[in-house]
């Protein structure tokens, strides 16, 4: 049977050219009397940019948990029938990009597992760095035989957290979480629930965003503030690093499980987060505009027009134009229906590459000296093709300006960059990169200019992909990697029936089969 188009968004402008891939999006709601599945659907819809591989929603009516998840975009996975079947007053949702484990249905979230008194459904944004140690801890506590999600083929660090939340008969899920969360290392913004309570937790560094909002009849937690806006929730505050929040019929309570060691990902400000998100009190859009202004001060050039690489370069391009006095205009038009297809282009079409996604406005660029603003350069293939296309459209000069420093190091906290060997900035200087791209000049913003634009102290940001300085200690290289849990030599034995461990729970077993 031929493969059907999966509908997943592809931010890469060239087929096969992999840019920095987003983290995941999480959403949770506690709201008796509301259609929580539909609230979650729209919340995930607003977070779709953070992950396009799979989507899932779990709901609880106080007695049982139901989960529905599948591969594809939120709008493809769910329809009215599916959402109407997900009844209850609590929900958690997730849209995934894989930073640990392969792109499979088994790895879709929310994950499901038993607790001492019921069931837990969990969604995770981020990436743990002590996965190998957690494998040992799961084996120590529950035996080497794979159970639950691990038995069903889940190869993510999220499945390990779910397994550890199983706890024992003397502990509630809240008590177990407070014991497990301090054992986790790396980036984790979690939303999870049992039959009666919604939970949210964030790692002590607060690497990935997580916010709390208020509904008229309930509460919402989400990766970004636009998800609050879309469901009519008012922003209350960020979930603090090292904080566990519990929401149930008794209200909201907060417990600190670790001291704050803030190291927010600066790449959220540069690219990952939506521009209408507010993070640590700073508008992401305003930060990106200021990055463009700083870029103009640091790398001025005589030119006729500032254009952006749509859409991520637009705020910085506006800032560059404002600061430099060079007019901002549209030089490229983007196909609004950009997605992946399994129809292979001919050799002729493949050579056109980037034109599947972008096309120049020839009357705007012909004869003009252009400043092209983008957020980052990974391999450089996209920018090289873009510059060639603009020159073919008649551009007199093409000056490239990048609103982040050269990306030289991998991320182990939830962003999937190309390998270090593939990063163009590792082998070439900025001038050499500019020559390689075919640009008349190339300028990167300084790390200082980028950080100043966020209005956050440098000591409270993670800029490891630019500096190689990792704020959370990393294990040996052989204990890192996206597919670590797929390695046969890890100390987890052959799986038993994955359903067996859920037989005593209050609900959820029916949700374990693929829709």
375 known member of a binding site: yes
Q: Which residue has the tokens 């790895």?
A: 107
Find residue 512's DSSP bridge partners. Answer: none
The C-alpha atoms of residue 370 and residue 400 are separated, in whole angstroms, by 8
Q: Is 459 annotated as a binding residue?
A: no
CA distance 476 to 409: 16
411 is in an annotated binding site: yes
Q: Measured between alpha carbons, how far is 433 from 427 in angstroms, rounded to an integer?
A: 9
DSSP line for 183-247: G--EEEEEEEE-SS-EEEEE-TT--S--EEEEETTEEEEESSHHHHHHTTPEEEEEPPTTEEEEE
Q: Annotated catalytic, 95?
A: no
Burial class of 412 by CB neighbour count within 10 A (0 to 12, 13 to 18, 19+): buried
Among all chains, which residue has been given the structure tokens 């916010």? 211
SS3 label, residue 147: coil
Cis before 252 (ω within 30)? no
Is 246 labelled a binding residue? no
Q: Is 462 annotated as a binding residue?
A: yes
The one catalytic residue among 13, 23, 24, 371: 24
Contacts of range 334-337, beta carbons closer than 8 Å, 24 or more positions apart? 334/310, 334/358, 335/359
The span from the CA of 215 to the CA of 90, in Å, is: 13
CA distance 471 to 457: 14
Q: 116, 170 in Cβ contact below 8 A?
A: yes
- State how far the Cα of 217 lies from the Cα of 33, in Å rounded to an integer: 8
Q: Which two tokens mark 474?
A: 């990393």
Separation CA 515–CA 512 (nearest Å) = 9
C-alpha span between 71 and 289 (Å, rounded): 35
Contacts of 132 (CB under 8 A, 6+ apart): 475, 479, 484, 490
Residues 115 and 165 sit within 8 Å (Cβ to Cβ): yes
Distance CA 113, CA 498 (A): 10
State how far the alpha carbon of 122 is from the alpha carbons of 34, 157, 164, 468, in Å. Answer: 21, 12, 12, 31
Cα angle for residues 48, 52, 55 (degrees, 5° grid):
80
User: Which segments are annotated as binding site for [4Fe-4S] cluster?
Assistant: 265, 411, 462, 465
User: Which segments are annotated as binding site for Mg(2+)?
Assistant: 312, 374-375
Residues taking part in catalysis: 24
User: Which segments are annotated as binding site?
Assistant: 265, 312, 374-375, 411, 462, 465
């Amino acid at each position: 049977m031929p493969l059907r188009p999966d509908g997943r968004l592809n931010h890469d402008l060239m087929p096969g050219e992999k840019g920095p891939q987003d983290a995941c999006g999480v959403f949770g709601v506690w709201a008796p009397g509301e259609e929580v599945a539909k609230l979650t659907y729209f919340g995930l819809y607003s977070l779709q940019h953070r992950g396009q591989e799979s989507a899932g929603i779990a709901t609880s009516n106080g007695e049982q948990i139901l989960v529905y998840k599948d591969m594809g975009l939120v709008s493809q996975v769910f329809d009215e029938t599916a959402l109407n079947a997900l009844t209850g007053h609590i929900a958690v949702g997730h849209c995934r990009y894989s930073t640990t484990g392969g792109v499979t249905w088994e790895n879709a979230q929310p994950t499901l597992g038993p607790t001492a008194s019921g069931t837990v459904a969990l969604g995770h944004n981020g990436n743990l760095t002590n996965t190998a140690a957690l494998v040992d801890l799961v084996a120590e506590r529950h035996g080497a035989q794979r159970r639950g999600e691990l038995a069903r083929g889940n190869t993510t660090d999220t499945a390990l957290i779910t397994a550890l939340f199983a706890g024992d008969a003397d502990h509630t899920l809240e008590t177990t979480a407070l014991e497990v969360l301090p054992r986790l290392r790396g980036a984790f913004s979690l939303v999870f629930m049992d039959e009666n309570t919604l939970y949210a937790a964030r790692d002590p560094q607060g690497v990935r965003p997580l916010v709390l909002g208020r509904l008229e009849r309930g509460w919402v937690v989400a990766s970004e503030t636009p998800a609050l806006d879309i469901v009519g929730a008012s922003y209350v505050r960020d979930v603090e690093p090292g904080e566990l929040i519990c929401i149930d019929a008794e209200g909201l309570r907060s417990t600190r499980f670790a001291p704050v060691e803030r190291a927010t990902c600066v790449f959220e400000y540069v690219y990952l987060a939506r521009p209408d998100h507010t993070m640590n009190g700073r508008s992401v859009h305003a930060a990106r505009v200021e990055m463009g202004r700083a870029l103009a001060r640091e790398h001025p050039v005589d030119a006729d027009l500032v254009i952006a690489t749509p859409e991520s370069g637009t705020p910085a391009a506006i800032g560059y134009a404002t600061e430099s006095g060079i007019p901002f205009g549209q030089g490229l038009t983007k196909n609004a229906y950009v997605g992946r297809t399994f129809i292979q282009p001919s050799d002729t079409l493949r050579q056109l590459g980037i034109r599947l996604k972008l096309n120049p406005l020839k009357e705007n660029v012909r004869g003009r000296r252009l400043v092209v603003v983008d957020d980052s350069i990974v391999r450089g293939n996209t920018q090289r093709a873009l510059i060639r296309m603009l020159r073919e459209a008649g551009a007199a000069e093409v000056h490239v300006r990048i609103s982040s420093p050269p990306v030289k190091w991998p991320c182990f906290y939830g962003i999937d960059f190309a390998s270090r060997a593939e990063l163009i900035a590792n082998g070439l200087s900025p001038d050499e990169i500019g020559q390689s791209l075919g640009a008349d000049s190339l300028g990167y913003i300084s790390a200082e200019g980028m950080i100043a634009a966020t209005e956050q102290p440098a000591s409270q940001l993670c800029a490891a992909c630019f500096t190689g300085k990792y704020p959370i200690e990393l294990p040996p290289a052989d204990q890192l990697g996206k597919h670590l849990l797929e390695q046969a030599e890890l100390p987890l034995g052959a799986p038993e029936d994955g359903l067996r461990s859920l037989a005593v729970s209050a609900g959820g077993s029916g949700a374990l089969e693929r829709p």
